[in-house]
Amino acid sequence: MTLNLGNLWIELWNGSDAVLWLLTSALVNGLLVFLLYRGRHSLELLLSAKQVDLLLKFLILYLVCALPVVSMVFLYRGVFGYVGPPEFGDGFIHTYKRYPISFSTNYREQMGFWLTLSVWLAGFLVCIIRSCRRDRSVLRELRALSDLCGDRDMLDSAEELSRELGLKRTVPIKVSGVVGTPFAVGCFRQEIFWPQKEQGAEELRLVLCHELIHCRRRDPLYRKMIFWLCSMYWFLPYLKRLAEYYTDINEMSCDDEALERRSHKERYLYAKALADMVLEDGFLEHAVSMTGHTESQLERRLKHMMNKKTKAGKVAFAMMTAALLLFCPLTTLAASEGMCSLQDVIVREVLFEDHEEVMNGGNTLTEETDVVEDFELTPAKGEVWQGERMSVSTIKEEISSAKSMGSVTVSAGDEIYFALKGDPSSVSFRAGYINSSHKRTYVTTTNGTRTHTFTITKAGTYELFVEPLNNRTVYMEGTATVM
């Protein structure tokens, strides 16, 4: 996008900005997922499966929905300084706190970033399209090979359980001979696929309760979200491990809720029913994002449900939730600030040194000083905005003599940033400031454009000026910002 800096147009969110935004998000993703995955055993010792499941769902929501926006805002605020009111021309006035790489690179120099972005986008599209096509193909085939359940006892049990669980609508149940285990699908309109097997009434009720709990908690949506996350950050291997871990914890969490206040006999019946339900012919082997079932999780689920040890963990859960709520945005802020500082160092130490002569053409690259007794300044036809920590002056007019852009009172260490452009582009002009002793400090341009930052060494009141050279009449526009 483009943002108006006074009346100068600067291209922002170029290829480098998009790549660094992606890297910032990936860094936060990798760090949060790595820490949580490495600490999963400690979490399971302190918390119940349901509590771990809730923490994982919060993390998924943050990584999918909040992180891209939060990191973009932090990166934006890390680059730009304070923003003036909209009375200046046709937009807000933005000033740089730190320079982004896009500030000092042209389109040709951005090609490497655009290529990197293209590689990421290609990988994302391949992963997401392959996953969606596979799931849709399997689901289409399943629906073609399934019939709505006509078992009156099963439908009555489903209706009764739905009321107990607080489901607002009846979830359709479809019976199929190609599935070996029941599962719930659908991000917003859930449906349950059920194997065509004979089961005891008690076993059926327990397993059906498990699937309806999935529907009530919208677990199929979270499964989809985490696999979308894996597609977006396909270059982060730990995300796939988190996806597998989430499906395990999610199933164990539903097992716990379905078996809550159940007898040992009922637990045994439920475990036996699960052990008998095996995926047949590999039909759903690669549809984990849809079913949430893997063969490797069965043994772990059986051990977990036969363990009747309860974990209250309310205090631990509250502390872990608070830590996650605090740690997620702080990690994003730290990563964004680090990326902004890295860009600023690269621009100041490398790109400015390599490209300043190219950027400024015949500009005088050093600040010049002189003393003038009779230096007449007439006020420019611009606007001045005075804020708590900065002030902005604008100019937008045709000038033939030196013009004042306002008088400012500054402290030692403050900076004055000029961003000016003249028309025609071959015009020469100087811009700078003059103190009470008539000493001028300025820089000169010969190609019609000048951006420069002066650092004030002595506190005082200074007059800001711009002056055309060679007795030329120049249309001048731009800003002088005191920070």
Annotate 369-427 with DSSP letters as a single string: EEE-SS---EE-S--EEE-SS-EEEEEEEEESS-EEEEEEEE-TT-EEEEEEEEESTT-
Mean of the per-residue pLDDT values of the chain: 80
Q: For the chain, what is the total number of helices (H) and then of strands (E)?
A: 14, 19
CA angle 185, 189, 191 (to 5 degrees): 45
pLDDT at residue 53, as a whole number: 92
52 & 97 share domain: yes
299, 334, 358 - which closes a domain: 358
Same-domain check for residues 378 and 471: yes
pLDDT surpassing 70 at residue 290 = no
- Looking at the structure, tell me whether residues 287 and 323 fall in a common domain: no
Q: What are phi and psi of 27, to 5 degrees?
A: -65, -45
- Specify whether 249 is located in the same domain as 303: yes
Question: Would you give the distance in Å from CA 130 to the centre of its chain?
Answer: 24
Range of the domain at 414: 368-482
How many structural domains compose the chain?
A: 3
Whole-angstrom distance, CA of residue 252 vs CA of residue 255: 5
Among 177-191, 269-283, 376-390, which is the least confidently predicted range? Answer: 269-283
Give domain status of residue 187, yes or no.
Answer: yes
Q: Are 474 and 3 in contact (CB under 8 A)?
A: no
In a domain, 25, yes or no: yes
- Can you give the pLDDT at residue 425? 72
Tell me, yes or no, whether 363 lies in a domain. Answer: no
pLDDT exceeds 80 at position 356: no
Query: Is the pLDDT at 360 greater than 60, yes or no?
Result: no
User: Which of 294, 311, 328 is the endpoint of a domain?
Assistant: 311
pLDDT of res. 433: 93
- The model's confidence at residue 57, banded by pLDDT at 50, 70 and 90, is very high
Kindly report which listed range (140-149, 379-388, 430-439) carries the lowest average pLDDT score. 379-388
Query: Is residue 466 situated within a structural domain?
Result: yes
Q: Which two tokens stand for residue 138?
A: 């399997």
Is pLDDT at 12 greater than 50 in this prediction?
A: no
With 80 as the cut, is the pLDDT of residue 337 above it? yes
Same domain, 442 and 392: yes
- Sequential DSSP letters for 301-314: HHHHHH-------H
Classify residue 327: in a domain, yes or no.
yes
Q: Report the percent of the chain where pLDDT is more than 90.
A: 12
pLDDT at 351: 62
Task: Say if residue 161 is in the same domain as residue 242.
Answer: yes
Q: Length of the chain in residues, anyone?
A: 483
Q: Is residue 121 part of a domain?
A: no
d(CA 53, CA 60): 10
Least confident of 86-90, 122-126, 219-223: 86-90
74 shares a domain with 191: no
Question: What is the pTM (predicted TM-score) of this model?
Answer: 0.69
Taking the C-alpha atoms of residue 179 and residue 142, their distance in angstroms, rounded to an integer, is: 8
Q: Which of 358, 381, 415 is the last residue of a domain?
A: 358
Half-sphere exposure of 482 (CA within 13 A, CB side): 29
- Does 346 share its domain with 411? no
- Is 122 a member of any domain? no
pLDDT at 315 over 80: yes
- Do residue 156 and residue 288 come from a single domain? yes
Do residues 474 and 403 both lie within one domain? yes
How many angstroms separate the Cα of 215 from the Cα of each of 135, 190, 219, 301, 472?
18, 6, 6, 19, 76
Q: Which region among 106-115, 181-190, 262-271, 460-469 has the lowest average model confidence (pLDDT)? A: 106-115
- Residue 400 CB neighbours (<10 A): 10
307 and 319 both lie in a single domain: no
Question: By the 8 A CB rule, do 466 and 477 touch?
Answer: no
Residue 144 — φ and ψ, nearest 5°? Answer: -70, -30
- Is the pLDDT at 294 greater than 60? The verdict is no
Calpha distance 299→296 (Å, rounded): 7
**Domain identity same for 199 and 300:** yes
Give yes or no for residue 428 having a pLDDT over 60.
Answer: yes
Residue 117 lies in a domain: no
Cα 437 from chain centre? 52
Higher per-residue pLDDT: 129 or 104: 129
β-partners of residue 148 are: 174
CATH number, domain at 409?
2.60.120.380
Instruction: Note the pLDDT of residue 90.
Output: 45
